[in-house]
Amino acid sequence: MSTTINAVQKVKSSFPVRNIKFDFDPSTRYWFDQDPLYSHFLNTLSAITAQGELFLIRMLRTLRERITDPVLQADISAFIGQEAMHAKEHTRYHRYADLNDIDIETFERQLIQIYSLLDRALPLMDRMAIGCAIEHCNGTFGAELLRNNTWNQKMVGPLRDLWLWHAVEENEHKAVFFDAYHAAGGGYIRRMVWMVLGCSTFAGLMTYGTARLLVADKKFLSKKHLQSISQITHPKKGLFNITVIKEFLDYVRPSFHPFDYDTKQLEQHWHKVLNLENQQN
């Protein structure tokens, strides 16, 4: 272990690691607006997220020996702590869901194989570029979930708290992966190539995962589902609205940095609402 990493203990990270454990027992089957499509969309995202967090952690553990900045090293340690907690709690939810005949775990096992293939097949810096894309998605859409009360109030119970806590922490650490990528010599073109490839792959996985859960529930594509899609993608009122899409596409700007979008006040608001100030390790 390098002296740089040893020195991290003397440098405080810019965000904390919290020890969180949710009680999923009161969860309802359709916990997002009582809508099967919305609920299974986020159930699918939960599976992708849980394994994606572990994918990110593996990369940073490999890369961090190249990082000389002690502040960034401290933030990498905190990033790993937060992401490990996210993976743990999402995986705990999947176990609970499985007991209630929501089969997220089969898809999760398929994702483990996909992420393992990426680990074996791609050079580290290509995987890091994928990680930058993942973190940009997490931060951008997480921020919208926090500020869009029309949509975050449609979620109920412990799953609401899980996703809002996750969204807060994604914005707290949204620059760490990006900064580590560039500190290790990562460039713009590689970052953009993998954003494009990653988005298309992500869309396919989300479609497949959501469809298999709906089919298992005998909730086939219907007029109600089409209405749900039109509502959540409404350019002004939807969760995936035009403002969010513009922020997402700003990633193509060569001078882009995640902290160009300040979410500190938003994070502080939800620290109080979710009582996160008292959950730090």
Instruction: Give the domain range for residue 39.
Output: 31-278
Residue 206 has pLDDT above 60, yes or no: yes
- On whether residue 56 sits in a domain, the answer given is yes
Residue 126 within any structural domain of the chain: yes
Tell whether 14 is covered by a domain. Answer: no
- Does residue 13 lie in a domain region? no
Tell me the average pLDDT of the chain.
Answer: 94
Q: Is the pLDDT of residue 231 over 50?
A: yes
- Give how many domains the chain has, as a whole number: 1
Mean pLDDT of 265-277: 95
For residue 20, being part of any structural domain is answered with no
Which residues, 6+ apart, have CB-to-CB distance to 139 below 8 Å?
A: 170, 171, 174, 258, 261, 263
Whether residue 127 lies inside any domain: the answer is yes
Q: How close are the terminal C-alpha atoms of the chain, in Å?
A: 24
**Number of neighbouring beta carbons within 10 Å of residue 190:** 18
Q: What would the mean pLDDT of 108-125 be, rounded to a whole number? A: 98
Q: What is the pLDDT of residue 27?
A: 84
- Domain for residue 7, yes or no? no
Q: Report the pLDDT averaged over residues 62-91.
A: 97
Q: 241 phi and psi, to 5 degrees?
A: -90, 180
Q: How far apart are CA 208 and CA 180, in angstroms?
A: 32
Domain-located, residue 68: yes
Report the pLDDT value the prediction gives residue 281, as an integer from 0 to 100.
Answer: 64
